[in-house]
Amino acid sequence: MKSIRFASMLNTGFVRSVLLVAGGALVSQGLIVAVTPVLTRLFSPESFGVLAAFTSVLTILVALASLKYELAIPQAKADKHAFEVAVLSFSVLAALGLLATFLIVALWMFPWVELPAYCWFIPPGLLFAGAFQIASYVAIRNKDFSGLTAANIQRSVVQSILQVSAGLAAFGSGALILGYVLSQGAAGAKIIRKAFTGRSVPAKLRLLALARKYKRFPVMAAPAALLNAAAMNVSPFVIIYAYGVHEAGLFALAQRAMGVPMAFLGTAIANVYLSEIPRLVETSPDEVIVFYKRALKTLVVIGLPIVLGAALCLFYTVELLFGSGWSGAAILMLVLVPMFFGQFVVSPLSQTLNVIERQDVQLQWDFFRLCVPNLGFLMVALSGFSFVEALTSFSVLMFFMYVMNVVVTFWILKRRQAGILRVYK
């Protein structure tokens, strides 16, 4: 009887989609991690620290790339409507890309302003990464998980080939950044082309009407996304300020090395969860909390052994895998386990508050997640403690913030369900 129930579970579209996206995430992140031992022998921790600073800046900017209008794509009821929202997202992205270019050129013209060399990569990186982000939501809307999987793999392949080739040619840290930027542009092209084929671009008035209709996304979701991205990506700058680029490079390696276990199921469930939760909110609102609980339990049960096992394995093999120059990253693998575990469990579910239109709560939580761990890290660092001790405090505080996210989300969902039951009665 149990075997029949298990077989029927594997037969569901949700599980098949999870397995497909999980496999693609494992391959794409596996490629990045697979070439890391080569890159760590071609580039120094300082070069990885510069790459970490660039990717942090880009990730924070991409959070605002289309003012979060792309979040409305999976929620649109009609396919035509979803396409129009996608066009609106690309229009906003193009405008912000031009604005970023103008600002960098304007700053460059002032002789007393020293811009990092990687700043010139920001506008194309913003356009490419923003386009891939929109393409991902288009694929989620269409349940094109095979296309999304292929795009993620293609991105990793291009990035790996370009970065290794540039390293062998003895280019500097800019080569790591260039490979990252170009890989973003190559990834979502097929999904975008497929979505736009045979369709005409909507009129400007229609785009303005959509912008007004979904104004809650730029007003509430965009600031929350900015805070979310800042909370996750401001750390390299805090580390550079307190300890230096070398330590930021070690931190970047720890994050990259843990990429495979983090992506193995976390990213997969996040994409599939986001494709299912809007439908439940619309058609079966009383089942939302049940679906959330089921996903949460699955992530906890799967996540703990995966994250802890990966961290222990990397702790004992850092020098063997990445070279003696990276031995300082070994202890970081264990120190960051609380953060990685909390991120693995909560990140796939983090869009729940946006979907049920509680962006205000999401915004408050993102603000505290930005402030509490990073201020805690700075306080420990400025008190004279070591980098490892400061990072331990950061990891524990990040885990605490993830726990608070689950508690708050449960409370909101229960209140929402109670309100629905009162209406039905």
Rounded to an integer, what distance in angstroms lies between the CA atom of residue 402 and that of residue 132? 27
Residue 407 and residue 346: Cα distance in Å, rounded?
11
Quote the pTM value: 0.76
For the chain, how big is the Rg over CA atoms in Å? Answer: 22
Dist. CA 370–CA 323, nearest whole Å: 33
* Residue-range definition of the domain harbouring residue 291: 2-424
Total domains in the chain come to 1
pLDDT tens by residue, 384-417: 999 999 999 999 999 999 999 999 988 888 877 6
pLDDT in tens, 318-370: 989 898 889 899 999 999 999 999 988 888 787 787 777 777 787 788 889 88
The token pair at 405 is 């996210």
For the record, the structure tokens of 137 come out as: 């939501």
Concatenate the DSSP letters of all residues of 21-79 into one string. Answer: HHHHHHHHHHHHHHHHHHHHHHS-HHHHHHHHHHHHHHHHHHTTTTTTGGGGTTT-SSH
How many beta carbons lie within 10 A of that of residue 221, not counting itself? Answer: 26
Q: Give CA–CA dist 6/27, Å, rounded.
A: 26
Residue 93's pLDDT is 94
pLDDT tens sequence across 201-260: 788 888 898 888 888 888 877 887 888 788 778 999 999 999 999 999 999 999 888 866
Token pair recorded at residue 222: 């965009």
Give the count of beta carbons closer than 10 Å to the beta carbon of residue 240. 20
Q: How buried is 243 (Cβ within 10 angstroms: 0-12 exposed, 13-18 middle, 19+ buried)?
A: middle
